A and B are shown apart, each in its own frame.
Chain A
């Protein structure tokens, strides 16, 4: 019933010349998304992936279990000295992420270009 979560990794260079890893999600982010969210993040090389963008542009549904997975990702990233920012959330989920306090640990941007410019 829940649409499967897909994730893809892109490596790009920021306008400031920094290497950036983008985790792009697609589908629902719910309790069944652990492998697509945390698994994809944990497969990144910690030594080189220091700047990480989370792309929610193609995500339509995130529930509290999905938000918990994002928080777990942020905990691991903080412990590994990685900076994480996110972009592409709908206005509603931008509000929800702000309400639960995620913006204290990961800035949210409307677009990839805005997120890259802020790195």
Chain B
């Protein structure tokens, strides 16, 4: 019996705002090769962009000497993405954004990245590096061939 094949693509990004678009393009190309629908590719692009922005801004604190690793593992039924930085990881999940509180100045207008990630992919988990760095977010988006 043959093992299901996984194809891996890796990208390293500088910790500079804007370079999340390289990860977006790469993930979109892999997802397209796998047969994802266009609307799911758009979801994936936004989720991976937000994950990379968090890694650049919060994980690596915009230190251009550090890079962000993006590992895409294309399986038979799903695409798994790990976005790896040199930060210590998430201490706690931020609260779900509340537009009314934002509009009334009771909540920062920012802080929607993690909410978007969770809403747009099938699985999202944040893992803190055991040695105080190499933390990552792991995203999974499943291939829904019925709807393709």
Q: How large is the interface on B (under 10, 10 to 19, 20 to 34, 35 or more residues)?
A: 20 to 34
Whether the pair A1, B16 counts as a contact (CB closer than 8 A) is: yes
Q: How far is the CA of A71 from the CA of B49 in the complex (A)?
A: 20
Q: Write the nearest CB–CB distance from A95 to chain B, whole angstroms.
A: 8
Give the complex CA separation of A2 and B113 in angstroms: 18
Nearest chain A CB to B102 CB, angstrom units: 6
The answer to whether A68 touches B110 (Cβ under 8 A) is: yes
Count chain A residues whose beta carbon lies closer than 8 angstroms to a beta carbon of B. Answer: 27
Q: In the complex, are the beta carbons of A105 and B99 less than 8 A apart?
A: yes
Q: Is the interface of B mostly helix, strand, loop or mixed?
A: helix
> Is A91 at the interface (CB under 8 A from chain B)?
yes
A71-B102, A75-B103, A105-B99 given; A92·B21 CB < 8 A: no
Nearest CB on A from B1, distance (A): 40
Docked Cα-Cα span, A22 to B20, in Å, equals 30
Closest to A31 in B: B17
Residues of B within 8 A of A67 (CB): 112
Q: Is the interface of A mostly helix, strand, loop or mixed?
A: helix
* B109 partner, pick from A61, A72, A99, beta carbons under 8 A: A72
Query: Which B residues between 96 and 110 are near A, CB-CB below 8 angstroms?
Result: 97-100, 102-103, 105, 108-110
- In the assembly, what is the distance between CA of A71 and CA of B106, in Å? 13
Instruction: State the A residues within 8 Å of B (CB).
Output: 1-2, 30-32, 61, 63-65, 67-69, 71-72, 74-75, 78, 90-92, 96, 99-102, 104-105
